Structure 1
Amino acid sequence: MSGVTVAADRPRRGGRTVTAAEKEQARRVSLRRIGRLFAPYRTQLVIVTAIIVASSVVGMASPFLLRAVIDRALPERDVALLVALAAGMVAVAALTSAFGVVQTWISTKIGQQVMHRLRTDVFAHLQRQSIAFFTRTRTGEVQSRITNDIGGMQSVVTSTATSIAANLTTAVATIVAMAALSWQLLLVSLVVMPPAIYLTRRVARMRRAITAEQQRELADLNVTVEEGLSISGVQLTKTMGSGPALVARFTESSARLTDLELRSQLAGRWRMASMSVIFAAIPAVIYVGAGLPVTAGTMTIGTLIAFTTLQGSLFRPLTGLLNVGVSIVSSLALFARIFEYLDLTVEVDDPAEPVDVDPAQVAGHVRFSDVTYAYPGSDSAAVAGVTLDVPAGSTLALVGETGSGKSTLAGLVARLQDPTGGRITIDGIDLRDMRLADLARIVGMVSQETYLLHTTVRENLRHAKPDATDAEIEAAARAAQVHDLIAGLPDGYDTVVGSRGHRFSGGEKQRIAIARTLLRDPRVLVLDEATSALDTETERAVQQAFDTLSRGRTTITIAHRLSTVRGADRIAVVDQGRIVESGTHDELVARNGRYAALAT
């Protein structure tokens, strides 16, 4: 299941397409699966339920105390009894309030733990997804599901279980007490329940559909913010003069969101308002009934007041239960979107039985054996039948025209994707048999597009090795020939690099990336067109840093500029995913083939 781009069901004007897969997923959300989120907290839920039951039972004493005050203490002028009953009322209120504080603390803690688990599970699962997933998925969409969707479920997750228990217990206890006072009046009070349940179910379905559309619109809004307000997005907007169009797009999306929020709040409001009127009319009917000639004198005033007090208390939990039902059904759209991501298949994962590898003992002998790879949905293979042998400590250069398959080969070595045919081994071990953490320590990759985190230089370098000392960080920077630059900054290594490292030039970012890779000390190094966007002088400085980085390691270099690969132990020419020539620089020039044509 992809989660984003599936065949369209129906278009939404101005917004993203609502996919058939999204609708089907929303229909298939299981309440049992939602319930399993609370399974680790059974003990706490039992305690909360016990507190709720105790609170409900204690609370039911109040109407009976009130009846005794009206029917006995006041008419008989029994001051001692009146004081005792009043003290009992205060004690009931104090006890139920104390129960409420404890119950709220425990239930909120459970809800927040469930929210925490959901957030971390989704984040961790997405971290395991392949590069292909993030290629086809909008960044704002991913962010929206982790923040907006899980945030939207907070009230349901935090309070639903306890709300159901509290309202159900209170309703049952109230009905029992009302039956004890007058079963005839109880029947009158409950006559409104069937239409109330029917209307609530209709309102719930309406809000569920609106909620699903709201979250999709929020995702669109997130995408617009992420694309329009990132440093690269702002630069593009300013240079292209597309600011007004982007503002218009954001305004339209925000307006649609406003309309959806209004519809969500008003969905079924008239129906529920009608029910409120009916609920309010029941006490009036009871008073009229109690005053008719045929029923007059059949019950005391205290009983009548106690019953109507209970009747008012009954409709609150009943309405609460109905509202919880609306919230749960509405939130199913949110759970559907979260479970959709949790159900994504991990395309590149740890093996079931990994081979134990000590990265420090790896020599770095890389071998491609009849490797083939086709991108999902592509009719042709990006790499087809590639066989290469790269001895430990040697240098292999991959050259060829744009789109020939060089970067795909580089990604396969780092296991950003897995071959659809053949195998890649390091020291004879298939990459798919290694733990991903071990492979990440063995293979280091520096690409043309260097990504720096929006934090300090020191933390950017330490990202590769969290336990690196300041001395190790400085040594790596010196080896990458970037220490003097960093030391000359106002805050040195504590200088914030800015969004995507925008404070630095391309060559400076590359050297920081090299220092970061040096900290990891990988045995196999992949350089994917790492100098293609640099000017000649900057390239020379970066190339010197690369020479330091490559020393003693198995290096696979991808380059457009053949001047950077002249000294490689072996050069392979890639064309349409296949190796068409292989040899040293001098050998390939002498053959006067494809490489010689590229060199001219």
Structure 2
Amino acid sequence: MTPAEKAQARSVSLRRIGALFRGHRRQLAVVVAVIVISSALAMISPFLLREVIDVALPQGDLRLLLWLVAGMVGVAAVTAALGVVQTWISTDVGQRVMHRLRTDVFAHLQRQSVGFFTRTRTGEVQSRITNDIGGMQQVVTSTASSVASNFTTVVATLVAMTALSWQLTLVSLIALPPAVLLTRRVARMRQVITARRQRELADLNVIIEEGLSISGIQLSKTMGAGDAQIDRFTASSRRLIDLELRSELAGRWRMAAMSIVFAVIPAAIYLAAGLPVAAGAMSIGTLVAFTALQGNLFRPLMSLLDVGVTLTSSLALFARIFEYLDLPVEIEEPASPVRLSPVRGHLRFEDVTFAYAGSTTAALAGVSLDVPAGSSLALVGETGSGKSTIASLIARLHDPTSGRVTIDGVNISDISLSQLASIVGVVSQETYLLHTTIRENLRYAKPDATDAEIVAAARAAQIHSLIEALPDGYDTMVGSRGHRFSGGEKQRIAIARTLLRDPRILVLDEATSALDNETERAVQRAFDELSRGRTTVTIAHRLSTVRDADQIAVIDHGRILESGTHESLLNDGGRYATLAR
């Protein structure tokens, strides 16, 4: 465990963990009431046992014996029934808390910027949501009830023991201080091991995600790296075995020593009761009842100490989850969003500068663009010049470092993210399809879309005939990341998905880069038709696809070198003319 992780784990307050149960106070109050009643009832049995041994059996009182035995059975039955009720309520509360924790983490991560996922390892996020939250389940679902139950039992047992013999009660508590000290040491050991185990689980998740995805498998097979991947996974799994063993065995010998001490104490009490000096000082029934109570004391006492160990070791898990919940949201929803109605689609960049996190060089510097509603803008330039960065700012995947981007005169940071997503449609050069049917892939953009709307979007993207020719048509599974289809087919499905939303502003980031010449011309004609009355920003390397744009801007190292129409830029003889040649 690194110093930073230790500090992070210490910073997790029990108050914050307790706040997870806010809203379940009524159910928890019922659980506590059930626990108190169960603990009080359980204390009756030793006293009934004393009466059986000291009175009913020596006197041969069958009637009293029957009542005492019936009482013992009744107490056991009621206690068992109350235990079922307690388990049901506490588990229900714990599972609801786990559900909220999972959904809160997932929802918060959904609000994170693209930059966060660029910086975070593949598989790390999944590991936190599954392994870390899964590891917290025992603490969340049973710790509160376990603490309350064991604490109440300990208090009730001490009261009953004191009523029987306060001297023997003091003797019984001799082992308590060393038990507490040993438990604290064990808890710290497990906390360190737990943190290391969760990091190793995250590494294992990363290896699985990278090695068993369709892209990872293709890379592994083409590079002949299969054996190396297996060795990497095996080494991580072997380290995990060691950490799991250490986690389970941490402090076991110390706790075993305490169990021996706890077993010696009742033996010492029996021995003391049999010494001549103590003869006749205590009845046999009282002695048996006291040792039974003492056993009932040590069990919940050890459980309380074990809960302390579990809770302390789980602080590392809570720290990892709270770390994600505490991540600042870089792209914030506006406090008072401006509602655009109607949306014309007039797009402007006003002296926009932007630098990626950790970069000392600006990706864009002083970019100003004016794209009237219904017009088209083409961005051209060499790879890495900043074209895709401009596209990402339009969709507000990032916010400008300075300057602003506006739609119809309104800063896009003042528009709700949901409305902005409905206004701006993006088709990028990297196509991502979900592992479901073509129909559901298209409905991802518009969940309430009718079949007719889906077919119309597919026709516009020049993909309908191909889909219809498939055995299952629109219900065909696309496979992991759409690898069942060619690059051009995936691209056209992605185009149809965006068009289904009917955005007022279209951003086409190399949207036809994976298409052959014939298909590209067909899709380009569809775009020309669909662009009527719609603002379109097109990014392309092939100038043949942008020559008819209303304006063309040449980007170089994050700056606009020149802009104008195709003809005017050719006549100027600048960078565009060089690119055209």
Task: Give the TM-score of the pair, scaled to structure 2.
Answer: 0.99
Counterpart for residue 208 of structure 1: 191
The aligned runs of 1:166-565 (5 Å cut-off) are 166-358=149-341, 361-565=342-546
Deviation at 1:311, TM superposition (A): 0.5
Which amino acid is the alignment partner of residue 270 of structure 2?
Y
Say if 1:211 and 1:264, in contact at 8 Å, map to a contact too.
yes
Counterpart for residue 559 of structure 2: 578
Could you tell me how far apart the structure 2 residues matched to 1:145 and 1:363 are? 43
Say if 1:425 and 1:431, in contact at 8 Å, map to a contact too.
yes
Deviation at 1:445, TM superposition (A): 0.2
Could you tell me how far apart the structure 1 residues matched to 2:321 and 2:242 are? 24
Could you tell me how far apart the structure 2 residues matched to 1:21 and 1:475 are? 55
Residues 21/426 of structure 1: CA separation in 2 closer, same or farther (3 Å cut): farther
Deviation at 1:139, TM superposition (A): 2.4
Say if 1:48 and 1:107, in contact at 8 Å, map to a contact too.
yes
Say if 1:178 and 1:311, in contact at 8 Å, map to a contact too.
yes
Deviation at 1:309, TM superposition (A): 0.5
Could you tell me how far apart the structure 2 residues matched to 1:548 and 1:191 are? 88
Could you tell me how far apart the structure 2 residues matched to 1:518 and 1:528 are? 14
Q: Does 1:100 align with 2:100?
A: no
Deviation at 1:48, TM superposition (A): 0.4
Deviation at 1:454, TM superposition (A): 0.4
Residues 443/71 of structure 1: CA separation in 2 closer, same or farther (3 Å cut): same
Deviation at 1:377, TM superposition (A): 1.1
**Further displaced range: 510-519 or 404-413:** 510-519
Residues 287/342 of structure 1: CA separation in 2 closer, same or farther (3 Å cut): same
3-state secondary structure, aligned to 2:470: coil
Which amino acid is the alignment partner of residue 192 of structure 2?
A
Say if 2:491 and 2:514, in contact at 8 Å, map to a contact too.
no
Say if 1:415 and 1:431, in contact at 8 Å, map to a contact too.
yes
Could you tell me how far apart the structure 2 residues matched to 1:19 and 1:535 are? 53
Say if 1:514 and 1:545, in contact at 8 Å, map to a contact too.
no
After superposition, the C-alpha distances for 1:266-292 in whole angstroms (9 at most, x for unaligned) are 110110000011111111011001001
After superposition, the C-alpha distances for 1:441-499 in whole angstroms (9 at most, x for unaligned) are 00000001111000111110110111111221122112212111111111111111000
Aligned residues: 581
Could you tell me how far apart the structure 2 residues matched to 1:58 and 1:472 are? 67
Could you tell me how far apart the structure 2 residues matched to 1:289 and 1:22 are? 51
Could you tell me how far apart the structure 1 residues matched to 2:531 and 2:7 are? 51
User: What is the root-mean-square deviation in Å for CA atoms of aligned residues?
Assistant: 1.0
Could you tell me how far apart the structure 1 residues matched to 2:206 and 2:283 are? 66
Over the matched positions of the two proteins, sequence identity in percent amounts to 75
For 2:11, which of 28, 52, 55 is the aligned residue? Answer: 28
After superposition, the C-alpha distances for 1:371-422 in whole angstroms (9 at most, x for unaligned) are 0001111111100001110000100000000110000000000000000010
The aligned runs of 1:111-150 (5 Å cut-off) are 111-150=94-133
Deviation at 1:21, TM superposition (A): 4.0
Say if 2:379 and 2:538, in contact at 8 Å, map to a contact too.
yes
After superposition, the C-alpha distances for 1:277-336 in whole angstroms (9 at most, x for unaligned) are 111111101100100111111111111111111100100110010000000000000000
**Further displaced range: 25-34 or 164-173:** 25-34
Task: Give the TM-score of the pair, scaled to structure 1.
Answer: 0.96
Deviation at 1:19, TM superposition (A): 6.0
Say if 2:428 and 2:510, in contact at 8 Å, map to a contact too.
yes
Could you tell me how far apart the structure 1 residues matched to 2:517 and 2:463 are? 17
Consecutive unaligned residues of structure 2, counting only runs of 5 or more, are none
Q: Does 1:59 align with 2:62?
A: no
Residues 160/528 of structure 1: CA separation in 2 closer, same or farther (3 Å cut): same
Deviation at 1:536, TM superposition (A): 2.3
Counterpart for residue 61 of structure 2: 78
User: Which structure 1 residue ranges, 4+ long, deviate > 3 Å from structure 2?
Assistant: 18-23
**Further displaced range: 143-152 or 36-45:** 36-45
3-state secondary structure, aligned to 2:277: coil
Deviation at 1:39, TM superposition (A): 1.3
Which amino acid is the alignment partner of residue 524 of structure 2?
Q
